[in-house]
């Protein structure tokens, strides 16, 4: 089995069939979303992206002598680009009711930081790409809803537009960086473990925002 086929299979395995989008995403898609919750999302993402960027750079350092190091470094560059788009979103949404770190929102970056220290890099890469599709789909829905129901301009939607791009190229690049030998059995087991937890923490992120007063 080729590496890209392994990644496709893992993505399918880790993506629950028939799972409903997060309530916050559904609310915006139907015109019922509250901009105040996106203001809090922007405030939380400011912390999340800064943390994730450092985690990815640490992973890049851990495998600097193999192609996977450059792949992680490329993801870190993407986090830097995404961070530059956040101020426009925050301005358009208005002041956040809560600027403090919310535990449910910060669980994902905390676990990624743990993976940066303790995870096996090929398995971490595979787990990350398995989660990109869901996140990108939610971002695409929010970008469209903000334009349709709130008349947001391009700059204000740039954060969600950035992540709404298909993850196909990143997945292919990850497969090439992992190499033609692919993931061996222990890597596959670790990927499943990492992927399940990453997706659980992402669901917690959205649930935390949906439960805001």
Q: What is the pLDDT of residues 60-94, one digit of tens each?
A: 999 999 999 999 999 999 999 999 999 999 999 99
Burial of residue 58 (number of CB atoms within 10 Å: 0-12, 13-18, 19+): middle
Query: Residue 165 has what DSSP assignment?
Result: S
- 28: domain CATH number is 1.20.910.10
161 falls within a domain: yes
| Mean pLDDT within 124-142 | 94
Helix (H), strand (E), coil (C) string for 112-135: HHHHHHHCCHHHHHHHHHHHHHHH
Domain count across the chain: 1
Chain centre to alpha carbon of residue 140:
13
The dihedral through the CA atoms of 48, 51, 76, 123 has a sign that is negative
The residue segments making up the domain with residue 148 are: 24-210
Dump pLDDT digits (tens) for 139-154. Answer: 999 999 999 999 999 9
11 falls within a domain: no
4 falls within a domain: no
The dihedral through the CA atoms of 59, 61, 66, 70 has a sign that is positive
Average pLDDT, the chain: 95
User: What is the pLDDT at residue 15?
Assistant: 82
Burial of residue 81 (number of CB atoms within 10 Å: 0-12, 13-18, 19+): exposed
pTM: 0.95
Residues above pLDDT 90, as percent of the chain: 89
* Nearest-angstrom CA–CA distance, 175 and 15: 19
8 falls within a domain: no
120 falls within a domain: yes
5 falls within a domain: no
10 falls within a domain: no
Dump pLDDT digits (tens) for 17-63. Answer: 667 899 999 999 999 999 999 999 999 999 999 999 999 999 999 99
* Cα separations in angstroms, 206 against 30, 37, 41, 102: 17, 10, 9, 11
Whether the predicted pLDDT of 175 surpasses 80: yes
174 falls within a domain: yes
């Amino acid at each position: 089995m080729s590496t890209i086929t392994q990644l496709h299979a893992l993505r399918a395995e880790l993506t629950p069939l028939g799972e409903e989008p997060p309530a916050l995403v559904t609310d915006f898609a139907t015109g019922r979303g509250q901009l105040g919750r996106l203001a809090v999302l922007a405030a939380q993402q400011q912390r999340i992206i800064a943390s994730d960027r450092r985690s990815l750079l640490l992973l890049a350092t851990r495998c600097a002598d193999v192609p996977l190091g450059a792949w992680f470094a490329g993801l870190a560059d993407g986090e830097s680009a995404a961070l530059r788009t956040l101020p426009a979103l925050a301005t358009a949404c208005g002041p956040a009711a809560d600027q403090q770190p919310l535990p449910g929102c910060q669980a994902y970056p905390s676990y990624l930081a743990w993976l940066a220290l303790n995870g096996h890099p090929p398995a971490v890469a595979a787990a990350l790409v398995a989660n990109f599709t869901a996140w990108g789909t939610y971002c695409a829905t929010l970008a469209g809803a903000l334009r349709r129901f709130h008349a947001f301009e391009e700059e204000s939607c740039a954060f969600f537009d950035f992540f709404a791009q298909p993850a196909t190229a990143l997945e292919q690049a990850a497969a090439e960086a992992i190499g033609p030998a692919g993931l061996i059995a222990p890597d596959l087991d670790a990927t499943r473990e990492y992927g399940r937890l990453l997706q659980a923490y992402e669901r917690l992120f959205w649930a935390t925002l949906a439960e805001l007063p």
